[in-house]
Structure 1
Amino acid sequence: MNVPVKRRYGKRRTNDAAELAAWRDAFLHRWDFFRDLEEFGLGTDEAVAAAFPEAWARLGGAFLDQFEQHPSRSPEPPYGLVTYGDPRNAS
């Protein structure tokens, strides 16, 4: 009798850089177009919207530093900056 093998999921190690990369589209445009945030437990647009303010406060400064230094950045300001302001200026 063949018993099915239990499926094992690899332990994914995440860090701030990986999380920042996953938030990039949402920080720019409000939406997680490629569902990069699913691995962080944010599989719906509602979950992303609920987590956005905290993630912006924590990672937005690093995102803006990268955004400002990118030579081909969009002329439009990122959604996070317009909606929540510059987290680097928060006291």
Structure 2
Amino acid sequence: MPVKRKIGKRRTGDAAEVKAWAGLFSCGYDYFRDLKPYGFTAKDADRPARAAASEAWKRLGKTYLETVWADRFKGPGQRQVPWAVEEFGFPEGCNHAG
């Protein structure tokens, strides 16, 4: 009898989670529903996502600032400080001098 094929579980690492939270961290809204794989599926998912953002920011904020935010073009009309920094402050261990 053939062995039943196992389907691997979808695993997401910190990099994928940072990318998913990036929209909300930058402007406070998940416009593209990137957080859907993390359980924020309702039509008005921004409210519960904002409630969970504090915990996510503590875990992922430093990585977000060092990777996603550092790579952004900050030209005229662009936010100079991400929404999450305005809302929660800089994450622990983050060098925000520059």
Pair in the same fold by TM > 0.5: yes
Match of 1:81 in 2: 85
Structure 2 residue 42 is matched with structure 1 residue 56 = no
**Percentage of identical aligned residues:** 38
Root-mean-square deviation over aligned CA pairs? 2.0
* Structure 1 pair 40–71 and aligned structure 2 pair: CA distance change class (3 A): closer
Q: Give the deviation of 1:76 after TM superposition.
A: 2.1
Q: Give the deviation of 1:60 after TM superposition.
A: 0.6
Q: Give the deviation of 1:49 after TM superposition.
A: 1.2
- Structure 2 spans left out of the alignment, 5+ residues: 1-6
- Structure 1 spans left out of the alignment, 5+ residues: 1-8
Kindly tell me the number of residue pairs found equivalent between the two proteins.
Answer: 81
Aligned counterparts, 1:1-91, within 5 A: 11-43=9-41, 44-66=45-67, 67-68=69-70, 70=71, 72-73=73-74, 74-89=78-93
Q: Which has the higher helix share?
A: 1
TM-score computed with the length of structure 2 as normaliser: 0.72
TM-score computed with the length of structure 1 as normaliser: 0.78
